[in-house]
Structure 1
Amino acid sequence: MDCEGQKLAEQLMQIMLLSFAVIAIGAGYITASFQTMILTYAGGVVLTTLVTLPNWPFFNHHPLKWLDPSEAEKHPKPQPSVNVTAKKKFTSI
């Protein structure tokens, strides 16, 4: 799953869970049954898991292009410059 796919999966999860929560509260209120509410929401959680957890092909529309190892050796990573600064001691008065 690429980065954009992860973002899409996160958005889908949030939207689906919120939607199923609203539907479950409505169904529970209409039937006056706490059990109906819990079962409706549990079904929504299972469906949300089946949609967002596996690595479906529509989550891979923006694959990352990795640098070939031989090319990486030709272009070494720049080393950070060493900047030594004197640390000042702060004393309380």
Structure 2
Amino acid sequence: MLSIFKTIPTHMDYKGQKLAEQIFQGIILVSAVIGFLYGFIIEQFGWTVYIVLAGFAVSCLLTLPPWPMYRKTPLSWQPALPESSGDSREKPPQENLKKKKHK
């Protein structure tokens, strides 16, 4: 049962995050304008709130799950370096480093 959940992708790339943010803001803005205008025309503030909440729900449905459109450009990671002896990762001796004097 748990192996099914491990196969579900849970990431977005950077361009996908930018697209999701733009879609989210666009839907919220459009629903706010429509809700304000409709509520103003019928003189009911409650309908404005309902329309904005519906826009929020739609935007969450479209932007929170990592849909395939948000994973089109994956990052290309550098290949892993092979393990070697610990000599290459030691700090250089302090006498080789030049100290700068601030005036």
- Which bin holds the TM-score, normalised by the shorter protein? 0.7 to 0.9
Q: How many aligned residue pairs are there?
A: 81
Equivalence for 2:56: 45
Equivalence for 1:79: none
Question: Counterpart of 2:76 in structure 1: which amino acid?
Answer: K
Equivalence for 1:87: 102
Question: Counterpart of 1:14 in structure 2: which amino acid?
Answer: Q
Equivalence for 2:4: none
**Aligned mates of 1:43, 1:32 — CA distance in 2:** 19
Closer, same or farther: CA 83–33 of 1 in aligned 2, 3 Å = farther
Deviation for aligned residue 1:68: 2.5
Deviation for aligned residue 1:83: 6.0
Q: Tell me the SS of whatever aligns to 2:78.
A: coil
Report the identity percentage: 35
Gaps of 5+ in 2: 1-11, 89-96
**Aligned mates of 1:72, 1:26 — CA distance in 2:** 64
Gaps of 5+ in 1: 77-81, 89-93
**Aligned mates of 1:64, 1:87 — CA distance in 2:** 42
1:26 is matched with which residue: 25, 37, 55? 37
Moved over 6 A (4+): none
1:64-83 equivalent positions in 2, closer than 5 A: 64-70=75-81
